[in-house]
Amino acid sequence: MTQNINRIFIIAGTLIMMFVMMSTGKTLKTKATPLGIINLELAWNSSRADHVISAWSVPAPGNIDNIKVAIQNTWLDFIFLFFYSLFLFYLCLSISESSKGIIRITGKLMAMAALNAGMLDIFENAGMLFTLNNFSSNGIALFTAVCSALKWFLVLCSILYILLAGPWVLLRKDK
């Protein structure tokens, strides 16, 4: 019973925070920043980071301050990363525990990868908050971009494992 409540809490939290992040961050998508906050995540030097900051410094329609929006979105990401990393962790672990051999081992690795993605997201957010608060430097931008790239790699690997091993495990259970 408790395990089901935990699952529902994590799934609901992930879905709600995905919606919140998309809603609050939609004004960050401009002609200069078509990927929104991801443009800042992956800006690997201060010149690129400053380009993103400049694009957001112009008031958005409705006189919205996109720098404040980006700061708020980054703080909200601390909540989101808690949910998505646990969601991916438990899903990979669940698939792993229903498997044997290489699928089981890979699942355990992907579960840990999901948690590590959450940790990298914390560091990435810290770097973005420094940049958004006028503490931009090549070192901070590079650190943020490396954390972001590694995070996305680990998230995508976890999702790929879920998409490939999940159906395989379900099909094997029917036999």
pLDDT tens-digit series, residues 95-139: 999 989 999 999 999 999 999 999 999 999 999 999 999 998 999
Sequence length of the chain is 175
In the chain, the amino acid numbered 149 is A
H helical segments located in 37-65: 37-41, 46-57
The CA distance from 91 to 106, in Å, is 13
pTM: 0.91
User: What is the residue-averaged pLDDT of the chain?
Assistant: 94
Phi–psi pair at 99, nearest 5 degrees: -125, 175
pLDDT tens by residue, the chain, 175 residues: 677 788 899 999 999 999 999 999 999 999 999 999 999 999 999 999 999 999 999 887 888 999 999 999 999 999 999 999 999 999 999 999 998 999 999 999 999 999 999 999 999 999 999 999 999 899 999 999 999 999 999 999 999 999 999 988 777 765 5
